[in-house]
Amino acid sequence: VTYKVSCAHLDLVGLTGVLAVFEDVTHLEQVGQMRRDFVANVSHELRTPLTALLGFIETLQGPAREDAAARDRFLGIMAREADRMNRLVRDLLSLSHVEAQERMRPGDMVDLVDLLRATQRSLAQMAEKNAVTFDEDLPAGQVRVPGDADQLRQVFTNLIENAIKYGGHGCTVGLSLDGPAEGLGLRGAAVRVTVADSGPGIDPLHIPRLTERFYRVDSHRSREMGGTGLGLAIVKHIINRHRGRMRIDSAPGEGSRFSVILPTR
Ligand code: ADP
């Protein structure tokens, strides 16, 4: 516990003494520490690709100047590193955007069935490249929930992208929607969207920390896959904004299931 102590000398009529006020600033200290950690993480994440870029520029200006094959290879790596920085900045902006929004615009309704189909279509090419098949179980009609369509689309894009990336080559990605129903883990009627993959699964040790910014089970693999470590932090924030919940069920060798539960009113 950290206290801030303020003292004042008192000299009232017939009464002298010292007044001390103890203020518990533990929470402020923690927020300050989190902010410092975040800035350190962002700096590190930006510096890694930047250092690589500067190194390759130097090599291209010097030893590899006349070597066409090396030049092409290095330019390919440089493009990937620049792309990584670009994605990181994009995700940081998304995160700061969802964090800054206190409340959603009231009244907007989103049809989740349409949104999930559109999200799946937009990732069809990525799935095909990884030989991933979708196993889809969505209702025929509409299922509407109050929400921000762009943000909810980002939630399901991030979850399906992760399922494709970490599920591994040839895996199956299940996409389903239950409800509206009571008893799905929220007070009142709710719907549950599940994104499941038949990949290697996640050690239970890591599960509670997956939604922390920059937390990765395997940083090398995440970076190779183009991950920024911010995807699930963004997902969590958006779901909180929608007064929903996320559940992660996974075990090594048994695939992973991410369930998003959203209220219908
Ligand atoms: P990243 O940008 O690294 O993908 P995320 O915040 O989206 O960051 O995910 C955090 C970490 O959670 C990932 O680095 C990965 O280790 C793990 N993860 C996320 N989704 C899955 C999944 N479907 N299967 C296995 N691991 C996953």
Model confidence at 135, in pLDDT bands (50, 70, 90)?
very high
**Contact status, residue 116 vs residue 144, Cβ threshold 8 Å:** no
Convert the pLDDT of each residue in 46-82 to its tens digit. 999 999 999 999 999 987 888 888 899 999 999 999 9
Q: Which of 132, 159, 216 to mutate to test the pocket of ligand 1 (most atoms within 8 A of CB)?
A: 216
Of residues 86 and 4, the one with the higher pLDDT is 86
Record the tokens describing residue 215, joined without a space. 């937390």
Q: What is the pLDDT of residues 172-226, one digit of tens each?
A: 999 999 988 888 888 889 999 999 999 999 999 999 999 999 998 888 877 778 7
The complex scores an ipTM of 0.98
Rounded Cα distance, 90 and 82, in Å:
12
Measured from the CB, is residue 228 less than 6 Å from ligand 1? Answer: yes
Distance 195 CA to ligand 1 centre (A): 13
Instruction: Report the residue among 154, 175, 222 best suited for mutation to probe ligand 1: largest number of ligand atoms under 8 A from its CB.
Output: 222
pLDDT, average across residues 119-128? 96
**Cβ atoms of 22 and 5 closer than 8 Å:** yes
Residue 171 predicted with pLDDT over 90: yes
Return the residue whose CA atom lies nearest to atom 8 of ligand 1: 229
Q: How many angstroms separate the alpha carbon of residue 45 from the centre of ligand 1?
A: 16
- Rounded (to 5) percent helix, strand, coil in the chain: 45, 25, 30
Give the CA count within 13 Å in the CB-facing half-sphere of 26.
3
Mean pLDDT of the chain: 91
